[in-house]
Amino acid sequence: MNKEDVKKAQDEGRLIQQKITNDWKAVAAQYPHLIEDFELFTKGIAGFYRQCAEDQEMYEVPLDDHKIASLLQQARTCDMVRTYITSRIDQDVAQPIKKSK
């Protein structure tokens, strides 16, 4: 790829990112309760997964390390999705840092 192709691809990527941000902002503006409910749900389910991983007495069968890791990963995924969406709504897409010459 030459410099023009790279610049074109970067510009297209920025436009796509801005469109995604605008779409999420539009959803949040039209359905603010939806975003609030989504945040509460993802926080609750992430907390539930963490609690399950920490409190093994909830289960009749002890959890092995793999199942505990899986629960914690699911909790982290909920956090990541929530952060992704709220960052799209709360701020504009971060622009890449320009290299100083």
Domain boundaries, the chain: 3-90
pLDDT tens readout for residues 7-22: 999 999 999 999 999 9
CB 70 within 8 A of CB 52: no
pLDDT of residue 98: 55
pLDDT tens readout for residues 38-94: 999 999 999 999 988 888 777 677 788 898 899 999 999 999 999 999 888 886 545
pLDDT higher than 80, residue 3: yes
Q: How far apart are CA 65 and CA 87, in angstroms?
A: 32
Q: How far apart are CA 33 and CA 41, in angstroms?
A: 12
pLDDT of residue 70: 92
Count Cβ atoms within 10 A of the Cβ of residue 86 and give its class: 0-12 exposed, 13-18 middle, 19 or more buried. middle
The helix/strand count (H/E) of the chain reads as 3, 0
